[in-house]
Amino acid sequence: MPRLPNFAAGSFVSQSAMLSGELCMNFIPEVLAWPGAKARAALYPAPGLSDFATLSNSYGRAIYAEESGRLFAVGGIGLDEIASDGTVTARGAVIDDGNPAQMATNGSDELLVVSGTFGQVLTLSTNVLTAEVSDVTMCGAIDTFFVALDAVTGTLKISEAADGKTWDAGQVVQRSAAPDPWIAMIVSRREIFLFGESTGEVWYNAGASPFPFEQRPGAFFETGIEAPWSLAPFGGTLAWLGRSRRGSGKVYWMNGYTPVVISTEALEWAIQGYREAGVISDAIGWSYEALGHTFYVLEFPTQGKSHIFDDTTNQWHDRGLWSAGDNDFIAYRPRFHAEAFRKNIVCDNQSGNLYSFSSTIYTDVGGAALRRLRRCQHLGNENKRIYLDSVELDCERGVGLSSGQGSDPTVMLRTSWDGGKTYGNERQRNIGVTGAYSQRVRWDRCGSGRDLVLELSSSDPVPTRFFDLFMELS
């Protein structure tokens, strides 16, 4: 039986679903470079969520693992410390302006928390939180200096070296390299990347006096930022939703000092639709590493959409929470990440819960079903009628649980013969009770038409792994 080309691939929903409507939801495409592998690629499950802790207040706005191993999170108006067993200790109150918060350490017994335009310093040895600097929206640390950006005035401020409680009013600088004020900042590779709406630049510690930082020669770029909170570290570099004087709605990562587009035409079409239907300036970006991959998560809160870029495969996929009531995917709940206690810990953007990403748990928030879906590419033959005699899925089989949901797990198939505009009813097939490794997952008499799209889905709490899809056509 011939295999369906590019079955285990990412999302690419173009302007017309009749041209390309490929969707990879809650699956991670994995390219298998090993020559002896049975399949060229696979679809592996996106991580499930294991309950870890509950913050003292509201929804997650930031999470940060301090260098000595202590873990802090901002939930609503509260700054909390979380122990390895999930115990939560309140460390003080912050201002919640509806935006994310940020944290940084300077290597000198201090944690800077910027939230609601105020910077507060937690002295790590005493756990005392004090207010130190006002009119700041983003922060970082470099060479024992705290650096903070006031996005309202486009002003960069710095603390004294190794002293986050001293902020000299004269130790500030405003942009002179371009007319668009700085609205976003991130520290990466011991450099400060500063973004205006249409351009950006890099500053470094030049040891100058009285202000020690200067613009790095040759590090000016003509790409700015559309959504300030989309700026996030990404592996050894950074990623963001950008714009320039020529247009907007592209996603970039930084290659040296050169912005490189990583969004596809299909994603840019989606972003354009988000803009026309509402706003995209509230987009939020964050990243994490797991299982040999580095992921950049780009969330659009107004639209409830999350698109994820994988730097290992250079493909995008989607994530969302399945809502049976809506019969659709709604907003992905994890937001922000810290690696602590040998766990990938994430906040919840709607509650004070913290979760750890798990590769062995296959449920979503609160144990909800983690539905995974792959909508495949179009299949046709010069607009001639084709007959689909059978479809067979090669997947992980015999993975049933000992009892309850998932004891006899299933995969659902839907077919569309009008290019993905409408679909038939779901047809279930079992993928095997525990130990049934030879189970065949096959559908016969699948219909006929001129423009075929297949859609596979599964929501049982088992390790759902898809390898190949085979078809008999006539």
Tokens of 313: 């495969």
pLDDT of residue 183: 98
What's the pTM?
0.96
- Structure confidence by residue, pLDDT tens digits, 282-326: 999 999 999 999 999 999 999 999 999 999 999 999 999 999 999
- Rounded average pLDDT over 2-6: 91
- Grouping H, G, I as helix, E, B as strand and the rest as coil, residue 230 is helix
Q: Which contacts qualify for 294-299: CB closer than 8 Å, 24 or more apart? A: 294/234, 294/235, 296/232, 296/234, 296/239, 296/253, 297/332, 297/334, 297/335, 298/230, 298/239, 298/241, 298/251, 299/331, 299/332, 299/335, 299/349
Q: What is the mean pLDDT of the chain?
A: 96
pLDDT > 80? residue 1: no
pLDDT of residue 414: 98
pLDDT > 80? residue 467: yes
- Rounded average pLDDT over 216-239: 97
pLDDT > 80? residue 236: yes
pLDDT of residue 218: 95
Reported as a pLDDT band with limits 50, 70 and 90, residue 18 is: confident
- Structure confidence by residue, pLDDT tens digits, 337-371: 999 999 999 999 999 999 999 999 999 999 999 99
**Domains in the chain, ordered, with CATH?**
12-46+373-473 (2.60.120.260), 48-368 (2.130.10.10)
Report the distance separating Cα 456 and Cα 413, nearest Å.
5
What DSSP character marks residue 457?
E
pLDDT of residue 34: 87
β-bridge partners, 452:
379
pLDDT of residue 430: 97
- Structure confidence by residue, pLDDT tens digits, 161-184: 999 999 999 999 999 999 999 999
Residue length of the chain? 474
Side chain identity, residue 152: V
pLDDT of residue 359: 93
pLDDT > 90? residue 35: no
pLDDT > 90? residue 104: yes
Q: What are the φ and ψ backbone dihedral angles of 270, each rounded to 5 degrees? A: -65, -45
